[in-house]
Amino acid sequence: MNALIKKPAFKIVTLILLILLTFIVSLQTGAIQIQPVDVLRTLVGLGSERDALILFEFRLPRMVIALLVGAALAVSGAILQSISQNELADPGILGINTGAGLAVVIFIYFFQGSLTGVSQLSIFIMPLFAFIGAAFAAFLIYIFAWKKGITPVRLILVGIAVNAAFSALLIVIQLRMAPNDFMQATIWLTGSIWGSTWSYVVTILPWLLILVPLAIYKARTLNVMQVGTESAISLGVSMEKERRFLLILAVALAAISVAVAGGIAFLGLVAPHIARKLVGPQHQIMIPTATLVGAFILLAADMIGRNVLAPSEIPVGIVIAIIGAPYFLYLLMRTP
Amino acid sequence: MGRQSAVTTLEKAKARSKPSHAILVIGFGFVLLTAALVLSISFGAANISVGTIWDAITAFNPTLTEHQIIYDIRIPRALGAALVGSFLAVSGAIMQGMTRNPLGEPSIMGVMDGAALAIAIMFAFSASISGTSLMVAAFIGAGAGAAFVFFIGSFARGGLTPAKLALAGVTVGAFLSAISSGIAIHFNVAQDISFWFAGGLAGMSWSNLQMIVPVAIGGLTLAIILSRSVTVLSLGEDVAKGLGQRILLIKTLGVIVVLLLTGAGVAVAGAIGFIGLVIPHITRGLVGVDYRYIIPCSAVLGALLLVLADLAARIINAPFETPVGAMTALIGVPFFLYLARRDGRKL
């Protein structure tokens, strides 16, 4: 029995079961409770119209988005932690989220009026803007942290600075918005998957289907990176090129998440850690595990956010920060 | 460290300080500050000439609108900016000296986010809030936030490196502001609180000034009394012990000064970042490493910077006001980057 529990396969199966269980519970709970029997009936097409509307148009797309975004952030964090050789790296702390957020808010501010609400077009353009913003932030961080190479500490400090500058610009733009837009922007910036629709899913799913397998494909390179630069060079990996490629990969994943779910901090940090504890540091297995952990955490956090203060909702980003920050501090205290 | 070598270290440090520069900084600083205050008072939605300002001060006529604007709005705002700027700069100087951490400052050490959370709670749970209770809440919140960061720091394995303290500060800040946002959204007071968090001197009134003047007198006096001990602490605890300093007492008093000054600043002007980081470094560059000079000079230069930042915040996008907290962040971040790069190896 003990040997079985220690097997990675067992842990992965357990994770999948946990996700399924949370998924089922999450389908039933919310501002309107739906009985398990009715959920089943609705899923096979025999439920009431009201239940079908709630499940298919509101709850399911939102839960699928939670799973996808959780997975994307987890992979992004795992890559960042390996290439910076710093286990405290995370797209949120590094300012990549804020960069994407700033770009999207600029987009909303200038174009929202002309597009009347979140139109079909803006759903497809927003991820693009988010990517540009995130890439710009990553570029700035890379440039400023570069001084005969990149040290992990400098990377993080520069990330903190870029984050602060972008936040300052954000608040300048935000305060010029109409109160209604402002509230939306605030909720969105703290990270929320409220109002997700199937078009969001359709927009990001193809990207994730390319990027996540790509990260797993690069697992061996990531393994080498984590060992350290010098041994990596001696192993014949052309470090800077690989590092840049992986950085772009991580930024793209973070940007996609921010575009549909706003600035969710700490998930990209926590999920790879938990995965590493579960299955060890080998990226071939760690990255797939991290995607599951990330998906599970975000799904569960969204369920919590929907129910704790019901009928009003707590954006999922806040739930993650309240849970994730203490975990981060615990990690910080343990790191020598 | 023995007493003799401790004394030598202190003497060396004193040799690297420049008292004559300090006098110059304070002298010129006051002249510039006066000019900035006059500019700040004359500039606004209605531009007012210096002559009118002089009249309003020497021969106040309550029937003139311009005199009223000057007296009720412009003067308290300008003086408030000066006081808050000096509070934040002195807080930063004391934090950097006591922790020997170049990145020490109220806005990234949990102090501001703690105060902001306390204020968010006040906004959410009481319909009418008196200035005094806001200020008390801000003190308590600032204290709790700082205690949180230092608690984490002191239990960290391998001690409290500057990078760790910065990370702990940022994380505690994220945690506290997540709770603030939750409160803001749940109680539908997000924009009120954001305006306030962003740092604003627009609401400064004489009654606000009345509240912070006692803090200014008490806090700044205590800071100057402590300044010699801060110099000793900034040379390291070994030196401080060698010179027979009562480290615990000094640190406690230092923390109290920081909380008083930051709490009062946040309570009347919101979360204004990076002044506490930038000014002490600039001052150290000008007058050397003795905190007996750094603290008063920081006070003058901090006042000058915030009055100017507040003025810029009004000019850049007139007639709208740009949040002054964003202004100071945009000034402060390049400086932070410079420090992070310069001290990168040590950090």
Judge if ipTM > 0.85: no
- C-alpha Rg value of chain B to the nearest Å: 20
Q: How confident is the model at residue B347 (pLDDT cuts 50, 70, 90)?
A: very low
Question: Which residues from A are below 8 Å from B329, CB to CB?
Answer: 164-165, 167-168
Residue with tokens 């309570």, as numbered in its chain: B267
Comparison of pLDDT for A6 and B205, the residue scoring more: B205
pTM over 0.95: no
Interface test mutation site (partner A, options B181, B192, B343, max chain A beta carbons within 10 A) = B181
Start-to-end CA span in chain A (Å): 35
**Average pLDDT in the B136-159 region?**
77
List pLDDT tens digits, range B8-41.
Answer: 777 777 767 777 888 888 889 899 999 999 888 8
CA-CA-CA-CA dihedral for A64, A104, B181, B174, to nearest 10: 90
Mapping DSSP to helix (H, G, I), strand (E, B) and coil, where does residue B185 land? helix
* pLDDT score recorded for residue A115: 44
Nearest CA in chain A to B160: A333
Mean pLDDT (10-residue bins), chain A, 336 residues: 71 90 83 74 76 78 91 93 80 82 81 54 71 87 77 76 86 76 70 75 88 89 74 63 85 85 85 89 90 94 83 82 86 76
Which of the pair, B86 or B155, is modelled with greater confidence? B86
Question: Which A positions 94-133 lie with beta carbon below 8 A of chain B?
Answer: none
> What's the confidence (pLDDT) of residue B298?
93
The reported pLDDT for the residue numbered A116 is 47
As a whole number, mean pLDDT of residues B302-328 equals 85
Q: What are the structure tokens assigned to A196, written together?
A: 């997700």
Q: How far apart are CA B136 and CA B259, in angstroms?
A: 11
Distance CA B282, CA B232 (A): 20
Q: Give dist(CA B77, CA B45) in Å, integer.
A: 14
- Banded pLDDT at B145 (limits 50, 70, 90): confident
CA distance B57 to B294: 33
Find chain B residues with C-beta within 8 A of A172's C-beta: 322-323, 326
Supply the angle between the helices A8-28 and A36-43 in degrees, to the nearest 10: 100
Q: Please tell me the predicted confidence (pLDDT) of residue A101.
A: 83
Burial of B121 (0-12, 13-18, 19+ CB in 10 A): middle
Q: Which amino acid is at A209?
A: L
The 10s digit of each residue's pLDDT in A183-204 is 667 766 777 776 677 888 888 8
Q: What is the pLDDT of residue B160?
A: 63
Q: Chain A partners of B332 at a C-beta cutoff of 8 Å? A: 164
% of chain B beyond a pLDDT of 70: 88
Q: Count CB-CB contacts under 10 A for residue A239.
A: 17
Which range is most confident: A82-96, B6-20, B78-92, B244-258? B78-92
- Inform me whether the C-beta atom of residue A153 falls under 8 Å from chain B C-beta atoms: yes
Q: Do the Cβ atoms of A161 and A26 come closer than 8 Å?
A: no
Residue written as token pair 């993650």? A320
Q: What CA–CA distance (Å, rounded) separates A197 from B294?
A: 57
What secondary structure does DSSP assign to B97-114, as a single string?
HHHT-TT--GGGTTHHHH
| Residue-wise pLDDT tens digits, B207-239 | 888 888 888 889 999 999 988 888 888 887 777
| pLDDT at B346 > cutoff 60 | no
pLDDT at B157: 66
| pLDDT at position B159 | 63
For the beta carbon of residue B213, count every other beta carbon within 10 angstroms.
13
Tell me: cis bond preceding A127? Omega within 30 of 0 counts: no
Tell me what the mean pLDDT of segment B299-325 comes to: 86
Which residues 300-319 of chain A have a CB within 8 Å of chain B? 309, 312, 314-315, 317-318
Q: Verify whether the Cβ–Cβ distance A164 to B336 is below 8 Å.
A: yes
Give the up-direction half-sphere exposure of residue B146: CA atoms within 13 A in the CB hemisphere: 27
